[in-house]
Amino acid sequence: MAGFGVLSVHAHPDDEAIWTGGTLARYADEGARTAVVTCTWAEGTVRAGELERSLDILGAGEPRLLGYADARKPESAPGAPRFLDVPFDEAVGRVVRHIREFRPDVVLTYDGYGAYGHPDHVHVHRVTLAAVEAAGYDQLYPDLGEPWWPRALYLAAIPRSVVVSHWRAVFGADPEPGQTLPGVPDDRITTTLDVGRWGERKWAAMHAHQSELERGASMTLLTGLPEQARAQLLGTEWYRRVGHTGPAETALTA
């Protein structure tokens, strides 16, 4: 595992822990290089400090902040444009630079729905797909480092069966008729990682984002789950593998 690199690209501080925290902790413990690019929030903000603590817990290095503003929180990066409003090529280039610098074997990000539909998540998905492809071309972004081809791209997703089985426990009621639900059909999941051994680390990394817990965000919902349901959600991470240009041993392994 020495030398193997996993780079995770996320929208906000706390996403690295919620969606890929177990994967990052597991691979760091197995000797891989791990890192996280976070597209919103700026250095010096409270949430940037929380991100630093979370990454330290997960063994994922120093924050790699692009410094753009959250779509819904201008205070996340005072004076900076929203990530959604930045020219697409500029955003892609910023991620390309990190890919070429870190030279990962595997890149992680969200699925096409951004896991649950947040506009920043959806945009990160689009930008990351373009950046993973562009990073290998010497003709594209020639001033941003030596070209590098990641060997596989994994999209964090939730099996629809898991969403349905835990909906009432999370939200206190069944979905409304016709309500759009997150998740993908179970047969679209290609990789199911058992990260139960790293569940406590993942939970600790999530709790490093104290301001989000105080705000009553998604992590607060998780704290209210029955222990068994929370253990399942924290102990498993699901992905769709959509790119493969290298040998089979570069795959994430269950």
71-85, 157-171, 210-224: range with lowest mean pLDDT: 210-224
Alpha helix locations (H) across the chain?
15-29, 46-58, 88-102, 119-134, 160-171, 199-207, 210-215, 218-223, 227-235
Is pLDDT above 90 for 96?
A: yes
Chain segment 127-173, per-residue pLDDT in tens = 999 999 999 999 999 999 999 999 999 999 999 999 888 777 777 77
pTM of the complete model: 0.93
Predicted pLDDT at 168 = 77
Mean per-residue pLDDT, 38-52: 97
Mean per-residue pLDDT, 46-57: 98
**Alpha-carbon distance 180 to 203, whole Å?**
28
Is pLDDT above 60 for 174?
A: yes
Is pLDDT above 80 for 181?
A: yes
